[in-house]
């Protein structure tokens, strides 16, 4: 859990805001570091991995935040 | 008598027997009757193995009348045929449901390659393709919808193969066609049969033209719009439709903006649905669900029409992205 360099709180944000926040904050973590987005938006489950594929980043995993909301973890590759 | 003529014309256009054709009030009802009738006729159980990208009419029928076993698809939307075969081998598998082609992304399914154990019939939802492309082989029951081939709304077609174990899942109605209920809408059925004949007669030229125009859209959108996912199988697909998704774009905003410019499109994005859940088809394929646009060509669409759409699209996408600072 401590391996996440930056966690974005996108609770309550509708699609496609969580993915926009992810893209905006990518440059805030170093190449090789992990960036996570916590979101209730059900589209994020599909769209975060799709974003990784389209933007050449690495999809790492889905887990949950302390309050049970889904958290999507990606690794900055470039 | 008039209805029999329509039945014969429909049968001939679809290359089936007239006594295999039943007219229903809607395509959705034909799907329900097809799935549930095969379930009722089964001696094996109540499980329906189906692709994850079936139309919601299939999902609803399965949930209402039995249990579903959803089989995954690849990135293009094509069903995992080996997994479908494995699902069909289960002792309690009563029916397999596989669409002829996907209604959202156009990918054609390998219906003719499905090889089922004895006693497990195949239902094919052919609503997206009927008339436009020939029916696949191998089904025990199939469904179509007249307005999808350009006919009137309010006419569905249920096909039940001679000799298959199909039993009416609803109470009997003592009428000529024991597979359906109530009075057929004769004028609409006549119009549906006539338009089906016309569509089938012209489909070779229409399909070739549509296929070429959609190829133009697919390549121009991919080349001219940054960060776009053009989805579905590029070759093994329905001739007349294409679906793509644009990163960072709100589905409702792009549909509204294209509509304002005179381009009627649909979307599978959550932001355009009352449910806030994205299209289960895009989800199963693992492709981007937001910023989704589905373009279906009208029969008389021209190269100028698709070029106008492709010319307008990059600026529409750019302006929507600019609003959110992307």
Residue with tokens 């009419």, as numbered in its chain: B57
pLDDT of residue B99: 98
Q: Which residues of B touch A51 (CB under 8 A)?
A: 247, 288
pLDDT at B161: 98
What is the pLDDT, as a whole number, of residue B175? 77
pLDDT tier at B182 (50, 70, 90 boundaries)? confident
Q: Is the pLDDT of residue B1 over 80?
A: no
Average pLDDT, chain B: 95
pLDDT at residue B317 in the model: 98
Q: Nearest CA to CA, how far is A12 from chain B (Å)?
A: 12
How confident is the model over B43-55, as pLDDT tens digits? 999 999 999 999 9
Residue A2: per-residue pLDDT: 61
B246-292 pLDDT tens trace: 999 999 999 999 999 999 998 887 665 556 788 999 999 999 999 99
pLDDT for position B274: 57
Residue ranges in chain A modelled with pLDDT below 70: 1-2
Long-range contacts of A21-29 (CB under 8 A, 24+ apart): A22/A48, A22/A51, A22/A74, A23/A51, A23/A55, A23/B247, A23/B248, A23/B326, A24/B325, A24/B326, A26/A57, A26/A76, A29/A5, A29/A76
For B126-175, the pLDDT digits (tens) are 999 999 999 999 999 999 999 999 999 999 999 999 999 999 999 988 87
Rounded to the nearest angstrom, the minimum Cα separation between A17 and chain B is 8
Residues 6+ apart with CB under 8 A from B169: B32, B33, B36, B37, B39, B40, B65
Contact B271, A14 (CB under 8 A): yes
C-beta atoms of B288 and A50 within 8 A: yes
- The pLDDT, as a whole number, for residue B2 is 87
Taken in order B172, B176, B181, B183, the sign of the CA dihedral is: negative
To the nearest whole Å, the CA of B84 is away from the closest chain A CA by 23
Q: Which pLDDT value is given to residue B277?
A: 83
CA distance A63 to B130: 43
pLDDT tens digits, one per residue of B77-98: 999 999 999 999 999 999 999 9
Q: What pLDDT is recorded for position B179? A: 93
For residue A4, give the nearest of A69, A64, A67 by alpha carbon. A64
Q: What is the spatial distance between Cα A46 and Cα B278, in angstroms, rounded to a whole number?
A: 9
Closest Cβ opposite residue A23 in set B270, B290, B326: B326
Name the interface residues of A facing B (CB cutoff 8 Å).
Answer: 14-16, 19-20, 23-24, 41-43, 45-47, 49-51, 54-55
| Neighboring chain B residues of A41 at a CB cutoff of 8 Å | 270, 276
Walk me through the domains of chain B, giving residue ranges and CATH numbers: 2-198 (3.40.640.10), 203-323 (3.90.1150.10)
With residues binned 3-state (H G I as helix, E B as strand, rest as coil), the percentages for chain A, rounded to 5, are 30, 30, 40
Q: How many other CB atoms sit within 10 Å of the CB of residue B137?
A: 11
Question: Which domains are delineated in chain A?
Answer: 4-75 (3.30.110.40)
């Amino acid at each position: 859990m401590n391996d996440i360099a930056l966690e974005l709180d996108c609770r309550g944000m509708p699609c496609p805001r969580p993915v926009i926040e992810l893209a905006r904050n990518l440059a805030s973590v170093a190449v090789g570091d992990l960036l996570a987005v916590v979101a209730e938006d059900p589209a994020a489950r599909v769209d975060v991995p799709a974003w990784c594929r389209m933007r050449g980043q690495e999809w790492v995993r889905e887990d949950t935040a302390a309050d049970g909301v889904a958290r999507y973890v990606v690794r900055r590759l470039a | 008598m008039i209805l029999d003529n329509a039945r014969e014309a429909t049968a001939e256009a679809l290359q089936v027997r007239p006594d295999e054709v039943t007219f229903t009030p809607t395509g959705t009802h034909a799907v329900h009757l097809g799935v549930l009738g095969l379930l009722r006729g089964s001696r094996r159980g109540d499980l329906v193995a189906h692709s994850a990208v079936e139309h919601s009419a299939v999902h609803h029928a399965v949930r209402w009348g039995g249990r579903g076993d959803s089989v995954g698809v690849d990135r293009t939307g094509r069903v995992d045929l080996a997994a479908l075969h494995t699902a069909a081998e289960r002792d309690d598998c009563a029916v397999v449901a596989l669409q002829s082609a996907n209604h959202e992304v156009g990918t054609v399914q390998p219906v003719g390659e499905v090889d089922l154990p004895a006693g497990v019939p195949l239902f094919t939802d052919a609503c997206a393709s009927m008339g436009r492309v020939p029916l696949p082989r191998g089904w025990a029951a199939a469904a179509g919808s007249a307005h999808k081939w350009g006919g009137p709304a309010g006419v569905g077609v249920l096909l039940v193969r001679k000799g298959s174990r199909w039993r009416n899942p609803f109470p009997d109605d003592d009428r000529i066609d024991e597979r359906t209920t109530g009075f057929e809408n004769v004028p609409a059925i006549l119009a549906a049969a006539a338009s089906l004949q016309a569509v089938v007669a012209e489909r070779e030229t229409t399909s070739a033209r549509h296929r070429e125009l959609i190829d133009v859209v697919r390549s121009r959108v991919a080349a001219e719009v940054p960060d776009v996912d053009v989805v579905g199988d590029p070759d093994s697909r329905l001739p007349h439709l294409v679906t793509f998704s644009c990163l960072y774009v709100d589905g409702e905003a792009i549909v509204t903006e294209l509509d304002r410019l005179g381009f009627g499109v649909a979307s599978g994005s959550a932001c355009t649905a009352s449910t806030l859940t994205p299209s289960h088809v895009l989800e199963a394929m693992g492709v981007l669900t937001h910023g989704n646009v589905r373009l279906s060509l009208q029969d008389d669409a021209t190269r100028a029409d698709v070029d106008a759409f492709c010319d307008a699209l990059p600026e529409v996408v750019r302006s929507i992205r600019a609003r959110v600072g992307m």
